[in-house]
């Protein structure tokens, strides 16, 4: 089993679920890239972290001996792609991601499912925004993610 795994995929693709499972089964630290991208220190989730600080945090994490890093991001994640022993791209259908996003929203509102590491406060507006973004993920981001991962084919696994 690899000690450094990077999982990427669209919203609701199963990144966090898979990352938590792999991390727990193998005693690896789990890192959500949302916690690096968003600066929620002021209690607002919609404030982006300074890119320099975000990149420094990622580089420090990527230098670690073991981790499972997951998120939708790819344009600033080269340090973790380079250090990863395995990269998993979750290429799941849009309808399935929509279903999972709705189910997650309901479970979080009911207190059944915990929030992620970023302490994001779920709102109806946030749910609507992520659902719209999810609808555009394949068209606007999937090709870019695959291109960013192109030089890492020997350690890339695409799961549908």
Please, are residues 68 and 29 in contact by the beta-carbon 8 Å criterion? Answer: yes
Q: Given this model, what pLDDT does residue 44 score? A: 63
pTM: 0.91
When divided into structural domains, the chain yields a total of 1
pLDDT (0 to 100) of residue 139 = 92
CATH of residue 76's domain is 3.40.50.300
Report the length, in residues, of the chain: 160
CA distance 93 to 103: 16
CA angle 14, 120, 90 (to 5 degrees): 15
List pLDDT tens digits, range 71-118: 999 999 999 999 999 999 999 999 999 999 999 999 888 888 777 654
Residue ranges making up the domain that contains 124: 4-159
* Cβ atoms of 77 and 33 closer than 8 Å: yes
- In the predicted model, residues of the chain with pLDDT beneath 50 are 118
């Amino acid at each position: 089993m690899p000690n450094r795994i990077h999982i990427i995929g669209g919203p609701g693709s199963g990144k966090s679920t898979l990352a938590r499972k792999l991390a727990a089964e193998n005693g690896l630290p789990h890192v959500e890239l949302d916690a690096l991208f968003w600066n929620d220190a002021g209690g607002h989730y919609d404030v982006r972290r300074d890119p320099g600080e975000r990149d420094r945090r990622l580089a420090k994490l990527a230098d670690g001996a073991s981790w499972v890093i997951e998120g939708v991001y790819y344009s600033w994640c080269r340090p973790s792609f380079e250090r990863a022993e395995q990269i998993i791209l979750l290429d799941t259908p849009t309808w399935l991601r929509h279903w999972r996003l709705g189910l997650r929203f309901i479970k979080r509102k009911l207190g059944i499912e915990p929030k992620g590491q970023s302490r994001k406060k779920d709102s109806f507006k946030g749910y609507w925004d992520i659902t719209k973004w999810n609808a555009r993920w394949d068209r606007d981001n999937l090709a870019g993610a695959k291109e960013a991962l192109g030089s890492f084919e020997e350690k890339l696994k695409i799961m549908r």
